[in-house]
Chain A
Amino acid sequence: MKFKSSLENYVFVLPAVLIFSIFYIYPFIQVLFLSFFDWDGIVSFKDATFLGWGNFKEIIFDDPIWWQAMRNAGYITLIALIFQNLLAFLLAWACDREIRMKNFYRLIFFIPPVFSEIVVGLAWRFIINDVEGANIINRMFAAMGHPNFMHSWLSDPKTALTTVAVVHCWKGFGWGFLIFLAGLQTIPRELYEAARVDGANAWESFKKITVPLMIPVTVLVAILTVLGSMQSFVLILGLVGGEFAGHTSVPVLRILSSMRGSSRFGYACAQGISFGMVLVIISFIQYRFSKKVTE
Chain B
Amino acid sequence: MRIKKITFNLLIHLLLISVAITCLYPLLWMVSASFKTQDTIFKDIFLIPKQLHFENYVFAWQKGGFGINFLNSIFYTTSVVFGIVIIASLAAYAFSRLRFPGRSLLFLVFITAMMIPVPGSFVPLYVLLNKLHLRNTPLGYILCMINVGLSTSIFLFKTFFDKMPKELEDAARIDGCSKMGIWWHVMLPLSKPVLAVVVVFNALTVWNEYILAFIIFDSRKFMPLQVALQVFQGEFVTNYPLLMAGLTITALPVILVYFLMQKYIVKGVTSGAVFFILLSLNVFVIL
Chains A and B touch (C-beta atoms under 8 A apart): yes
On A, residues with C-beta under 8 Å from B are 5-6, 8-10, 12-13, 15-17, 19-20, 22-24, 26-28, 30-31, 34, 41, 87, 90-91, 94-95, 97-98, 101, 103, 105-120, 122-124, 126-127, 132-134, 136, 139, 170, 178-179, 181-183, 185-186, 216-217, 219-220, 227, 231, 251-252, 255, 259, 265, 268-269, 271-272, 275-276, 279-280, 283, 287-288, 290-291, 294
Do B270 and A182 touch (CB < 8 A)? yes
From known contacts A13-B106, A124-B26, A178-B270, infer whether A24 and B118 are also in contact, taking CB-CB under 8 Å: yes
Size of the chain B interface, CB-CB below 8 angstroms: 88
**Secondary structure of the B contact surface, majority rule:** helix
**Distance A105 CA – B16 CA, assembled complex (angstroms):** 8
The answer to whether B255 touches A114 (Cβ under 8 A) is yes
Expressed in whole angstroms, the minimum distance between the Cβ of A188 and any Cβ of chain B is 13
**7 residue pairs from A and B, CB less than 8 Å apart:** A9-B98, A12-B90, A20-B110, A97-B12, A98-B12, A114-B258, A119-B30
**Interface: B166 (CB within 8 A):** no
Contacts of B266 in A (CB 8 A): 103, 106-107, 110, 178
CA distance A115 to B274 in the complex (A): 24
Contact of A30 among B116, B124, B179 (CB under 8 A): B124
Give the residue name and chain of the B residue nearest to A22 (CB): B128
Complex CA gap A101/B12 in Å reads 12
The chain B residues found within 8 Å of chain A, CB to CB, are: 12-13, 15-16, 19-20, 22-24, 26-27, 29-30, 33, 41-42, 45, 86-88, 90-91, 93-95, 98-101, 106, 110, 112-113, 115-121, 123-125, 128, 143-144, 146-147, 150-151, 154, 179, 183, 204, 207-208, 210, 226, 229-230, 233, 237-238, 240, 243-244, 247, 250-251, 254-255, 258-259, 262, 265-266, 269-271, 273-274, 276-277, 280-281, 283-284, 287
Chain B nearest CB, measured from A275 CB (Å): 6
Known: A15-B91, A16-B90. 4 other contacts (CB 8 A): A24-B113, A116-B207, A124-B26, A276-B116
